[in-house]
Structure 1
Amino acid sequence: MPRSRFPLVLLTLALGGAAQAATTITIATVNNPDMVTMQKLTPEFNKKYPDINVKWVVLPENELRQKITLDVASGAGSFDIATVGVYEVPIWAKNGWLDPLTPLFQKNPSIAASYKLNDILPSVRGALTVNGQLYAVPFYAESSMTFYNKDLFKKAGLTMPQNPTWQQIQTFASKIHNPSQGVYGICLRGLPGWGENMAFITTMVNTFGGRWYDQNWRAQLNTPAWKNALTFYVNTLKKYGPPGATSNGFTENLTLMSQGKCGMWVDATVAAGFLSDPSSSKIVNSVGFANAPVGPGTPRGSNWFWSWNLAIPKSTKKEDAAFKFLTWATSPEYINLVAKTKGTWAAVPPGTRTSTYTNPNYKKAAGAFSNIVLSSINRADVTRPTKDPVPYTGIQYVSIPQFQALGTRVGQIMAGALSGQTSIDQALKQGQDEANRVAREAGYQK
């Protein structure tokens, strides 16, 4: 080989080695607005970690759950980071499907120092900890609350109380409902899915005095509390909701509310920031906030508890790169970045860090709703979700592995009652049979 070409060969080898050193991680996430923002801010991550490329798989909630569950359970390794809910984390951790993060924080002291793990709200951090090991970090946490259009309320001569009852909500909806003008009295989740319509229906059932199972794991769906709650839900949406409600989940109702088409909406507290963001909401100056409604049975379980979290599947071969992204996207630095990018602190991912709620900029921007959100999250008790005792934890879900399939199946049945394909009595009997079958086959019933 001629001597004059030797340096060029070395340079080529060096460049080739650098190209090979770049790592690509694949992230699976839900198509909620906060996650879409995270995807858009990937170039900022690349500035900090230019040797890590990010590939995104963004899916609707139901589809995401199915795809991730199948992947991590089989060890297929398609994803290096998975967006998972507070329901999945303890179950998947016990199954050995997730990497514990505690050792990774210990291994990376500089990241741990800037990340400030103790800044994460204790209730949220505790829900993601199993046997002393942290298995996920929260991207945002939420409870549920009531959103209403103050302009529509004023026009109808109504005043929303800070702590409304469901009966009051229904009365308000009847007075605001004006479909000929494209305004519906209330928007509620109707899209089938254990994390969609059943998250909402279960909290309503809770506050009407119902529960999924008694202490002996006997199903309780075919009871007066469930019938009263489901009848109220179906009647309210049929009379005062938008057409095609069985197609509307969180995202669809967020769009309707932000366009001024809903008088009220009861849903996740995370929506408060979206509805206060001028870039995505037409009702920034007219949106009002109140606590989640309470039914005739009990205030217990009337508002849910949830967090969307980033976790590392055990099957990944790119743990270090995944850990760097996961900690970047849930850090105080990232929250500041979102505020800067969006131009308002009201749009930052909520419900995760004490420092967010003590930040004067956040207090100023989110003062109309921040206290409601924080108190709702703190008030939600996953260990005592119902009026009568139950053998499970979880407010809007039952913390057993089988609930993902059970809740989705019952969600389809309840959507059938909403659409008129089946009667309420038939829906409750079918749901009762499904819940008993699951408890029996899983060995919960003795």
Structure 2
Amino acid sequence: MNAAAQPPDPDPAPSDLHARFVQWFREVAPYVHAFRGKIFVVAFGGELVQAGALNVLIQDLSLLSALGIRLVLVHGSRPQVNEQLRLKGIPFQFGRGLQMTDAAALECAKEAAGEIRLDIEAAFSQGLPNTPMSHSHIRVISGNFITARPVGVIDGVDYRHTGQVRKVDAEALNLALGQGSITLLSPLGFSPTGEAFNLSMEDVGTAVAVALRAEKLIFLTDAPAIQDKEGNVDTELAREDADALISQGDVDAGTAVVLKHASRAVKLGVARAHLVPFDLDGGVLLEVFTHDGVGTMVVEDTLDDLRPATIDDVGAILHLIEPLEVDGTLVRRGRGSIERDVEKFSVSEHDGVIYGCAALYTYPEEKMAEMAALTVNPQWQGTGEGDKLLRHIESRARAAGITRLFVLTTRTAHWFIKRGFAQGSVADLPKDKQAHYDRSRNSQVFIKRL
């Protein structure tokens, strides 16, 4: 059984807890380093507030701020506006998508936005309860950072006080963020003449992320997760694939609205846009600091990359293979050996983090090649990454005119057998490899015809 699939120890020893903490801290440290000083725009609807999830979210955002991430928050208020309309006896309710806002609905939107803004500011004022950050001074700045324009008349319908973002005061926002403040934006905008307009949270979040060239635009949503063909959460979508899902009607209306804005943000220069379920405790932290995250990330092109290794990757390769060298799974290689053979290695990289590697040693005279040092970070084993590396190495071998690929292994025979390798013998190896075969390891030989 895969170790990750085993049930947790109900009473782990202190040493186990310490080891887990150290491992976790080492895994998240590269992300903390990479995101320090970067801008995240976090946008969420009034549904999150209505569900009572605001305080938990604020605690997680406070942590991000403490780690040096510059935050812009954009909130929605649709259910709160609808409640104000209901209390005033106005027979109208806002749904998702573009709708007309009359004068009465605009007043309700103002009231709802003001109430939510105060709730958010109050939540940040308490810091992290029962921690040394309790009552920490986190400044929250709101203001007229958004200039809006009316939607106007579409297909004969006057949308009155429904607006769109015309301009974002990026200079003022950057000034506030540079002072260590969190900026908070409501779904309202004002024209140069002082007229107010009701905006969508998605429009504001997208416009701000684009204007600030944000590292991430994170939508916290109550919409159903986007799933792949196997029914699992589709954790990464290229922008073109996201657009195809929308045009083909493969996602529900609520998801389509958010996904459309995520795609637009990425098209206009935002590095990553995320759709994260707000009902998952710690969803933002899991999305930001784990390899696959818990929601769907939209990027211009997929972030997983199989590429030739460079001299700058030597340290990462050593970090991957050294534990397997220590336990005898792999042959020991020193830094000098890796540096000398680095052009023979390929690496798997995700969002700047190398998590897998393999090397190809060719024997052209026999049209054979060895795949060596196939390694995947334990955190990502069982997710198909080893298969991707194998296919990549096979492709490299075919391109070099190789007809047979072999591996030497002491512990993973079944993995290779399942992937088309047949057991061979030392006599089947290229003559040069036979001469250097380490008989003390007694490695099994497996060969695959390409």
TM-score class normalised by the smaller sequence = under 0.3
Higher relative contact order (CA 8 A, sep 6+): 1
TM-score computed with the length of structure 1 as normaliser: 0.22
TM-score computed with the length of structure 2 as normaliser: 0.22
More strand by share: 2
More helix by share: 1
